[in-house]
Homo-oligomer: A and B are copies of this chain.
């Protein structure tokens, strides 16, 4: 039984998350330097690799079907982002998800723009069949996913929904898929369908950084590599990104320097600053 299933059955009785284990998670990343295999879109790929390397993880980002099983087996966790789903890349996504399930690796699904086309929704079904450990999206994406599964009756899909509007859908989705669901926005919410946490860090300018959500998905993979409880791992990832964004935003001129500042802040973040800045609800 792989870690990929832990969210479904093994994590219900854990205590409330304290800052302490989160700082341990950061130390774990730096010490263990896990290999993370991420399929992400070309817009985000350099930033995502930068974020992974900044926390100590070692990114691999191949889309070659010929080596997918080899690479997934060598990785501690896998992440799949459905952006820019050209035929070859879509095949690679499904292969990576299947390999992760087969090898018992935890994996993160990012349903970016799932509402944009029937093609993405079809792809989503193929990916969900491989039981992601964590699903991370914005409110619209989580609402669209819940709607696909007939879980969003009466919720409605708003063009720019708030995180709060998506919380019932997130909980329903978590229960239906046995995944942890992270909905990111002003406050990032993480739920396994029973328990839920909010991470109230971050900065509004982060929404203008291209690929930052995709990078958070990759960071969630890194967190799963060092923290066996998917709910705690998802909170760790949201906390790292939120804290880094919040600190970096105090000294940058706009979204491009913010992107660089987040990578640099993650690289230099010490446990004390992390804990002091963290706001987990």
Q: Are the CB atoms of A210 and B49 closer together than 8 Å?
A: yes
Contact status A71-B263, CB under 8 Å: no
In this complex, which of A50, A84, A210 has the most chain B Cβ atoms within 10 angstroms of its Cβ?
A: A210
Known: A43-B61, A53-B208, A208-B54. A119 touches B67 (CB 8 A): yes
Q: Report chain B residues within 8 Å CB of A116.
A: 60, 62, 67, 70-71, 74
A88-B85 contact in complex given A42-B45, A120-B67, C-beta closer than 8 Å:
no
Q: Whole-angstrom distance between the alpha carbons of A265 and B66 in the complex?
A: 39
With contact pairs A254-B54, A255-B53, A260-B257 given, residues A86 and B88 touching in the complex (Cβ less than 8 Å): yes
Task: Kindly identify, within residues 267 to 281 of chain A, every residue whose CB is under 8 Å from any CB belonging to chain B.
Answer: 267-268
Q: Is the CB of B86 within 8 A of A117?
A: no
Interface status of A47 (Cβ within 8 A of chain B): yes
Are the C-beta atoms of B64 and A43 separated by less than 8 Å?
no
Q: Does the CB pair B49–A117 fall under 8 Å?
A: no
A256 interface hit (Cβ, 8 Å): yes
Q: Check if A92 is an interface residue, CB within 8 A of chain B.
A: yes
The distance in angstroms between the C-alpha atoms of A257 and B266, with both chains bound, is 13
| Contact in complex: A118, B70 (CB < 8 Å) | yes
Chain A stretch 100-148: residues in CB contact (< 8 A) with chain B: 113, 116-120
* Interfacial chain B residues near A256, Cβ < 8 Å: 50, 54, 259-264
Distance of A257 from chain B, by nearest CB (Å) = 5
> CA of A53 to CA of B206 in the docked complex: distance in angstroms?
11
A210 touches B67 (CB 8 A): no
Judged by a CB distance under 8 angstroms, whether A250 is at the interface is no
Q: Does A46 contact B (CB under 8 A)?
A: yes
Cβ-defined contact, A53 with B210, below 8 A: yes
Most buried by B among A43, A59, A83: A43
The answer to whether B70 touches A86 (Cβ under 8 A) is no
Query: Which residue of chain B lies nearest to A84 when distances are taken between CB atoms in the complex?
Result: B62
Interface membership of A229, Cβ < 8 A: no
Binary flags per residue of A88-100, CB closer than 8 Å to B gives 1, else 0? 1110100000000
Q: Is the CB of B86 within 8 A of A64?
A: yes
Do A67 and B255 contact each other (CB < 8 Å), given the known contacts A43-B49, A49-B43, A61-B42? Answer: no
9 intermolecular pairs with C-beta atoms under 8 Å apart: A50-B210, A50-B255, A53-B255, A64-B90, A66-B85, A67-B116, A70-B119, A255-B263, A256-B260
- 9 tightest A-B contacts by CB? A254-B264, A67-B117, A256-B263, A256-B260, A66-B119, A49-B210, A254-B267, A70-B117, A67-B119
